[in-house]
Structure 1
Amino acid sequence: MAQIDPKDLGDPAMLAGITGGRFDDPFAVLGPHRRGGIRHVTAFDPGAAEMAAMLGSRAHPLDPVAGHPGLFHGKVPGAEPYLLRGRAQGREWLVEDAYRFGPVLGEMDEYLLGEGTHRRLWQALGAHVMTHQGMAGTHFAVWAPNARRVSLIGDFNAWDGRRHVMRRRGATGVWEIFMPGLAEGAAYKYEILGAYGGLAQKADPVGFGAQHPPATASVVRDIAGYGWSDGDWMAARSQAQRRDRPISIYEVHLGSWRRKEGGRPISYREAAVELVDYARDMGFSHIELLPISEYPFDGSWGYQPVGLFAPTIRFGPPHEFRDLVNAAHRAGLGVILDWVPGHFPTDPHGLMRFDGTALYEHADPREGFHQDWNTLIYNYGRAEVRNYLIANALYWLEEYHIDGLRVDAVASMLYRDYSRAQGEWIPNKDGGRENYEAIIMLQEMNRLAYGQQPGIMTVAEESTSYPGVSHPVDQGGLGFGFKWNMGWMNDTLDYIRRDPIHRRHHHHQMTFGLHYAFSENFILPISHDEVVHGKGSMLAKMPGDEAEKFANLRAYYGFMWGHPGKKLLFMGQEFAQAAEWDHDGEIDWAAIGNPLHHAVQLLVRDLNALYRATPALYARDCEAAGFQWIEADDAAHSILAWLRRGGPGDPDAVVVCNFTPVERRGWRLGFPQPGPWREVLNTDAGVYGGGGRGNLGRITARPGGSHGQPAHADLLLPPLSTLIFVRDDPTTA
């Protein structure tokens, strides 16, 4: 067979770059090119000894290029599509030539990608199953602006980065290739020749699927064409998620909520039945899932994600995750995802030094490295990185009908000196500690999310007193819908774990939260963080013998549900699991067989039902006008009482807490109106495992002032209890 003189094809160094996997513009050489009106085809396959272009059954041999093994060239008449036939060592194979296909990304994509304003980034980048130029296949695109060369690799090309070098799209920094015949389920990575010569294999930053850990490749997933049936929920969502609605959230780590045969975690489709039914029956309004974006390390619980656009394969593929969301919506439940834009892990297949440079992160560790978590910090000041994160938030809201995002570790994003000593951080341009770039990113994310997806909610886990977290962006706020009240959580848990004899000295911990309770739209969180790493379960935190532990916990839950603020409870705590959370197992469902644990479960269910049925307990959760102290100063007896108000015409509610193990008979308390009041909740009721002491379900407030109120009643306050009274006849108010 004749050999082609490499000089006839151009610069020999360029050809050597192709065969050596160093050339960054293979489409300029490989594939079909017309010369003098005749089609010439150049092909590269390092495993082939012979190569031909096939037009139907007719073979058109391609000649080897001298000195460049695997490189072939020849004339192929006509214009119809051809296949490449390779031969070597008695084997023969037919493949489509990826280099005969033109680009997929259009000029508008290119413009928006270059500008860093492509709000539907996932529609341009990542792996998309499609038909292009009449051929079914998958289009791949990735941002790697400083790479010398980017290749698509997988089983389809023996993971050989020389075979499918991608097309560089000008100044955008994006590389793309259409792979004919490649379908859903194919595993792939990008092999990147970095800016300084290093070679790395990276998962797709915008990939929609991934292999089961510990394998680290991305997987082609077709996320188009899901048949949603949640239209009623989506139409009503705007009303269900307002700050004047009852929001009670069940926080779930899907991997340890329930285990199945062989110890495997529940699947998305199983959760669509079991978890949804349970949360609905318990009266929660929302399910909040710990991060489900793909993550390599089980022990991170998802808080160190690598695949921000891929629902973790641990529980099933993307459409099955949609099944879970769809089922929740049909049951009247919202779904909130924990979202982690604050940091990312250093796993070599992830974003770290993605194109050989600090692309997604800061180069300087004083800005780009989290000392607490050994993770990297996004460079929020880079337009493309900011766009990547914002588009990811919009992706979950749009593609998966997610109702809310709870943003993790916001405080670490807001402050450049977060958990750093002097000299370990770089001040902002004004010499201060605020991270202006992160603030802009969060504001823009919230503005676009609320603007483009009606009725959604965003929630900040923010542990400092940064002002205006849940205030609108146009008023200088961060634009979140809600904020976790970490101060309330820390203070009240510190109080309730103390022996009641010492509580009088810490009374302020139960009242201090009301000094700022209406400065933000707060959620009261008893989250996973409070029942792990040696902190013990909620039940284990309580003082006293077994009966007192349960009584304390019941009283605390009553206090929480009666307190201003939306509610969040982590799984297992709704039935007073005794052991702290273990992500490698499942929550202790067997405990419900114990009457005391089952009784707490009944209490939480009833608290949720009462909360939803009583506007005074939720309508003004975020307004000072909805709250008034009746008794805030009785530290000596550890008694608290307050008034909750709803809208016009809604009956008032009075909440009374006794945090000592002493029964108080004839305890006079002020009421806002005389007349009948129903005792709608008593955490000491026998059905909840208590002593059955109380006020027989009803009291009558008599005229005559007490505690600054115009009426009063003499109550029986059971030990370690919370009582809630609701005005029986609001027309006399």
Structure 2
Amino acid sequence: MQLEQQLEHALCTFPFNHLGPTFNPDTSVFSIAAWLPGALKVSVVDMQSGQLIGELVNKKGSAFFSADFSLKQPPKVYRFTVSNKTSTYELVDPYQFKEQAYFAVHFVDHAAHNVYKQLGAQLVSLEVGLKSPIAATRFAVFAPNASAVSLIGDFNFWDGRCLPMQKTDFGYWVLVVPGIAAGAKYKYQIKDAAGNSLPHKADPVGFYAEQYPSHTSVVYDHDAYQWQDAKWLKQASKNKYTQAMSIYEVHLGSWKRPDASSGKTYLSYRDLTTDLIPYVKEMGYTHLELLPVSEFPFDGSWGYQPVGLFSPTSRFGTPDDFKYFVDQCHQHGIGVIIDWVPAHFPEDGHGLARFDGTHVYEYEDPRKGWHPDWNSCIYDFGKETVRQFLVANALFWVDKYHIDGLRVDAVASMLYLDYSRDDGEWIPNVDGGNHNYEAISLLQWMNREVYEKFPHAMTIAEESTSFPKVSRPVYEGGLGFGFKWNMGWMHDSLHYIAKDPSYRRFHHNEITFSMVYAFDESFVLPISHDEVVHGKGSLLRKMPGDEWQQAANLRAYAAFMYGHPGKKLNFMGNEIGQANEWNHDSSINWHLLEFEKHQGIQQLYKDLNKLYSSYPALHELDHHHSGFEWIDHGNAEQSILSLLRKSSEQKQKVYCITNFTPVPRDNFLLGVQDLGNYQLVLNTDDKKYWGSGFKVLKKMQALDKPWNNQPYSISLNLPPLASLFIIYKG
């Protein structure tokens, strides 16, 4: 195919070989070739001197312009003055910046963070010997098996003929285009190996994207926002294992909806700064965890089918708006965790699936590359470019958005080749087993990179199996996560609390079993969004009994969670006793706070957060067996549990007692370790929590009477369906 035909059909693989300037010093001939669809006349101007060099010529009806000029010295940089049927405009020829374009791929394979520093749309200043540098955008995209890639956007009327990109030896396509600034909309027009057109693709490393129907990428300036959270970042490197961590899990689109009169579908990032941050602060949570904010096409996926991993969703505003939200969280003492989804991605045409007509990002064999549960593609965890892409993305959120933690979704689906697959539907590893060694090594690399480069940050695994050492360092043979969700505790305890109290004595082991493995990992105790959706009912509606008993069960269970070793996570709505299960298309039922029951539940969560943060015994040794001791875990007949939480060196001791039946217990003996005074610091049956107000002593004196294998005891009245926290005062 002739060159002009290649250019006309957007099939030119190496435009730098044909377009732009050349200079022959032996003959002093300066040649320029340009491809300018729609142009009628093209003049060349030396940008340093402002002098006209001459005009380019073309064959009649051709968009290919060229000319040779006799010059002693070639211009350092030139521009075109282009006339078409309707206008005249100036254009700095992008094909004179070959070296600057190739710069994008010189370092990208050397370190993961170079992916987001070199690829995508990078705003650059071209130092070419003029008084002022030329502002431009450098584009680079990985499409190794494409036959041609063109940059399209508003700037060229989405015409794939105008800006063909250059293929490099590494499979990246590059081009530097002067005059394209932040805010410009763009995509890539890609032809597969046979020259067939693919759906226009959004930038895999795009930093900002529009919503349906365009899904266009938008050039974005990461240096424009001025952060004000230096004080937070300085203190954020404190040992997180010994700090209180009470996480409020939030879906930004449904935490609160704007008034219908506003005309808005969602609260923006800045609206949430005004509404959500003060609420989290007032409730005493230490961290916010956001369901995925990476750009995603379908609201019903809640963000767990992401397409733009490097772009915060524009549903709620601009990237700077999201930075402002995180910044304000930090200035108010709140850490920000985001859900991160490296396990899979959807098949949407503008996304990563079969990006250049081949499986660039996903495993080719559907037995590894297709997820049957979520009808989505699975990343090829063994391909180096994919590994760099994912590790870079983890670093990107901590680096550019100051995120404090990544909660990694669906880790189990990554670890096991036979996850949700029957025999014959999966491919064993080289040893014949079901572990995905490629995914395991990827997660280890990601965790090493995050903790080495950003010591203040943390990673948290949602991993639902007993895979060993998930939250242990890589040098110990672990996956390297900082924390792991305790899914076993969540399922067992919810199964237990859903039982009628009269049957709980037959299921006592379910509420105690978690302590068998409580210190095998650094656990977070989650009551997450997954437990209050898809017919599972709200946390309140999981509770048995009448209206009062449901609320009492919830309060007792919540307090038991705060007494149990492990950091805490609660999904939005739990803290007000929402009656309906979560619906992503509507708001939390905030109107329920008109009623005393829900006011009481909310007040309890507020007080539990305060108690948990204020008493080191309840958080300092969350992940060490020396901070916990059973007082009595065998009282199945009465369904009563009592335990002791201790701070380092046993400087503080807090006793937690839960009565999981509606039967009050007068003169109940509790074994204690020390003579002296004891004080009740929280009672979930208190009237301020909509409890019964059963009379309980607030101060107690230890008796010289051994009990529960302890040398002393205290006598107390134990309310129905209630948890008590009692501190040793000395």
TM-score range, shorter chain: over 0.9
Deviation at 1:213, TM superposition (A): 2.9
Matched residues in 2 for 1:33 and 1:65: separation? Answer: 21
| Alignment match, 1:38 | 29
| RMSD between aligned residues | 1.7
Greater CA drift, 478-487 or 617-626: 617-626
CA contact 2:148–2:195 (8 Å) conserved in 1: no
| Alignment match, 1:169 | 168
Deviation at 1:212, TM superposition (A): 2.3
| Alignment match, 2:10 | 21
Equivalent position amino acid for 1:25 in 2: F
Matched residues in 1 for 2:403 and 2:524: separation? Answer: 19
CA contact 2:101–2:176 (8 Å) conserved in 1: no
What's the secondary structure of 2:395's corresponding residue? Answer: helix
Greater CA drift, 471-480 or 74-83: 74-83
What's the secondary structure of 2:326's corresponding residue? Answer: helix
CA contact 2:504–2:639 (8 Å) conserved in 1: yes
The equivalences for 1:251-400 within 5 A come to 251-260=249-258, 261-400=262-401
Greater CA drift, 73-82 or 220-229: 73-82
Deviation at 1:112, TM superposition (A): 4.0
Greater CA drift, 334-343 or 584-593: 584-593
Residues 256-278 of structure 1 show CA distances to partners (whole Å, capped at 9, x for unaligned) of: 11222235212112222321111
Matched residues in 2 for 1:335 and 1:90: separation? Answer: 52
Matched residues in 2 for 1:116 and 1:136: separation? Answer: 27
Deviation at 1:211, TM superposition (A): 0.7
Deviation at 1:541, TM superposition (A): 1.0
CA contact 1:19–1:44 (8 Å) conserved in 2: no
The equivalences for 1:240-251 within 5 A come to 241-251=239-249
Matched residues in 2 for 1:215 and 1:563: separation? Answer: 49
| Alignment match, 2:552 | 551
Deviation at 1:497, TM superposition (A): 1.3
Matched residues in 2 for 1:126 and 1:410: separation? Answer: 27
2:65 equivalent among 63, 69, 72:
72
1:149 aligns with 2:148: yes
| Alignment match, 1:8 | none
What's the secondary structure of 1:288's corresponding residue? Answer: strand
1:578 aligns with 2:574: no
Matched residues in 1 for 2:101 and 2:631: separation? Answer: 65
What's the secondary structure of 1:668's corresponding residue? Answer: strand
Equivalent position amino acid for 2:35 in 1: F
| Alignment match, 2:43 | 52
Deviation at 1:339, TM superposition (A): 0.4
The equivalences for 1:271-670 within 5 A come to 271-648=272-649, 650-670=651-671
Distance 1:408 1:90, change over 3 A: closer
Deviation at 1:479, TM superposition (A): 0.5
Deviation at 1:611, TM superposition (A): 0.4
1:98 aligns with 2:56: no
Matched residues in 1 for 2:102 and 2:160: separation? Answer: 26
Deviation at 1:19, TM superposition (A): 2.3
The equivalences for 1:61-210 within 5 A come to 61-65=55-59, 69-76=62-69, 79=75, 81-104=77-100, 110-113=105-108, 115=109, 117-132=111-126, 133=128, 134-170=133-169, 172-200=170-198, 201-210=200-209
Residues 190-230 of structure 1 show CA distances to partners (whole Å, capped at 9, x for unaligned) of: 11111233322111011100012332111111111432221
TM-score, normalising length: structure 1: 0.95
Matched residues in 2 for 1:289 and 1:502: separation? Answer: 37
What's the secondary structure of 2:289's corresponding residue? Answer: strand
Matched residues in 1 for 2:498 and 2:263: separation? Answer: 37
CA contact 1:185–1:221 (8 Å) conserved in 2: yes
What's the secondary structure of 1:104's corresponding residue? Answer: helix
Equivalent position amino acid for 1:279 in 2: V
Matched residues in 2 for 1:419 and 1:86: separation? Answer: 59
TM-score, normalising length: structure 2: 0.95
CA contact 2:16–2:98 (8 Å) conserved in 1: no
CA contact 1:251–1:288 (8 Å) conserved in 2: yes
Distance 1:138 1:90, change over 3 A: closer
Equivalent position amino acid for 1:47 in 2: G
Residues 401-427 of structure 1 show CA distances to partners (whole Å, capped at 9, x for unaligned) of: 111100000000000000000000000
What's the secondary structure of 2:703's corresponding residue? Answer: strand
Matched residues in 1 for 2:574 and 2:29: separation? Answer: 74
- Matched residues, percent identical? 48
Deviation at 1:117, TM superposition (A): 3.6
Distance 1:31 1:569, change over 3 A: same
Matched residues in 1 for 2:316 and 2:556: separation? Answer: 37
Matched residues in 2 for 1:616 and 1:90: separation? Answer: 76
CA contact 1:214–1:296 (8 Å) conserved in 2: no
Matched residues in 2 for 1:575 and 1:19: separation? Answer: 63
Residues 623-642 of structure 1 show CA distances to partners (whole Å, capped at 9, x for unaligned) of: 11211111111112111111
CA contact 1:116–1:383 (8 Å) conserved in 2: no
Matched residues in 1 for 2:297 and 2:693: separation? Answer: 50
Equivalent position amino acid for 2:139 in 1: F
Gapped regions of structure 1 (runs ≥ 5): 1-11
Matched residues in 2 for 1:655 and 1:497: separation? Answer: 21
Matched residues in 1 for 2:719 and 2:675: separation? Answer: 23
Matched residues in 1 for 2:412 and 2:194: separation? Answer: 35
Matched residues in 1 for 2:291 and 2:415: separation? Answer: 22
What's the secondary structure of 1:635's corresponding residue? Answer: coil
Matched residues in 2 for 1:279 and 1:31: separation? Answer: 57
Matched residues in 2 for 1:137 and 1:581: separation? Answer: 46
Matched residues in 2 for 1:104 and 1:90: separation? Answer: 33
Residues 170-201 of structure 1 show CA distances to partners (whole Å, capped at 9, x for unaligned) of: 2x111111111111111100111112333221
Residues 349-400 of structure 1 show CA distances to partners (whole Å, capped at 9, x for unaligned) of: 1011111111110110000010000011111111111011001101111111
CA contact 2:460–2:484 (8 Å) conserved in 1: yes
Matched residues in 2 for 1:724 and 1:395: separation? Answer: 42
Matched residues in 1 for 2:491 and 2:114: separation? Answer: 39
Greater CA drift, 269-278 or 184-193: 269-278
CA contact 1:116–1:384 (8 Å) conserved in 2: no
CA contact 2:667–2:715 (8 Å) conserved in 1: yes
Greater CA drift, 586-595 or 517-526: 586-595
Distance 1:674 1:105, change over 3 A: farther
Matched residues in 2 for 1:344 and 1:533: separation? Answer: 21
Matched residues in 2 for 1:65 and 1:426: separation? Answer: 58
What's the secondary structure of 2:386's corresponding residue? Answer: helix
Matched residues in 2 for 1:709 and 1:196: separation? Answer: 79
Equivalent position amino acid for 1:681 in 2: L
Residues 686-707 of structure 1 show CA distances to partners (whole Å, capped at 9, x for unaligned) of: 1111011242322222111111
Distance 1:603 1:584, change over 3 A: same
Distance 1:401 1:687, change over 3 A: same
What's the secondary structure of 1:22's corresponding residue? Answer: coil
Greater CA drift, 46-55 or 152-161: 46-55
Equivalent position amino acid for 2:207 in 1: F
CA contact 2:101–2:175 (8 Å) conserved in 1: no
Distance 1:199 1:183, change over 3 A: same
Matched residues in 2 for 1:396 and 1:206: separation? Answer: 12
CA contact 2:686–2:693 (8 Å) conserved in 1: yes
What's the secondary structure of 2:706's corresponding residue? Answer: strand
